[in-house]
Structure 1
């Protein structure tokens, strides 16, 4: 009987070893969570206006370069202009957009040595105001029940300069949406070269309300071009006439 029990014990030990071996050899189950493709931030830009760092190898293979679908997240490697064209808030600038009739800017100017530009000093009710984070700033009075009010500022170009002054102005206009209510969209009203730069006038729509705005990008001889930006909400529409004076009045410091 001892021999029988000993034989059974040996058999059990061998079976346990085989079971362990089977457990070790069997492949593990695949992970249930599969990592998806890495995408860049949405088309809405940071305030710099520049595209994400270029890593072309990671670019999306689902759409050809230069034709990303509007509003889609952009893979790294897209240029600033491709990001602009994919942004549904900013329509294409077509030849149908007219030039603005020139207006007399007046005789009073504000000098901005940081940009190398001089801009119109607007009459009352406009007032100079603490400029930061800009380099010059003029504002309309605050209104009860809203934080929106007219603003006219200058600063060194806050976005990436492009080869074309027109393209640089387009990116600058897109950047100004950071200073309008959430959900704002642009409609172009005027576009034309000015001096050593480009000017754009546009309407900004947010819900049932609108603002009129303009940007002028101009080379003032500094390391970066200068930007002049004005916006006035429809609640202060009497000052919309000043937008044309601003756009016509940007000069290079002599």
Structure 2
């Protein structure tokens, strides 16, 4: 009995400590209960720190949905958006970039990320992540170079520096996990890293067409290994180091 009491007291203390840390420490965990940290719910899937800008936020979400629907077809992910118009809010929720996506559940945006391109980029992540599971955080079914390259492609990110050849971009295929990506990307080199990943995605389109890109996404979603599915696409094996990278849009035809 005394042992059970000690265990119960220990678990109680641990629970209290965890609760205190949850409320005391800023970070992305706060997305689970945004109202407790100053955000107002204006739609079932939208929390915001400045309700006077709700109309703009809703319009940005609608634009992002339209663009992603044109690419993916009917959208399956239903992420909750947290719009932080103030730096203080972004710090409270641990948003240290323009935006970030937590699986297909949450999209968190800082002041510099509240624009059509970033919202569309993060919405693309949510849709692609919805094809996997939480395990993919550690071992994603879509490697990070493809995940980021595809989101940059869908959002038409014009800030990026795309290399001239496959050989100059191929190194990003080593960036498979979140940890791999985070260990390489810096405030100084992100246009080059994202640009190289975007270049490889556009090379898939150049060699196999938009239909090939869609097939790759669908095959992996259905359980195929990404690298195997990529190699099986006609002409898309990333083995021609001198092949020029041509940035061309897909003519989105999905409804």
1 or 2, which has the higher strand percentage? Answer: 1
1 or 2, which has the higher helix percentage? Answer: 2
TM-based fold match above 0.5: no
Greater Rg over alpha carbons, structure: 1
Comparing both chains, which one has the higher relative contact order based on Cα–Cα distances under 8 Å and sequence gaps of 6 or more? Answer: 1
What TM-score comes out, normalization by structure 2 length?
0.26
What TM-score comes out, normalization by structure 1 length?
0.26
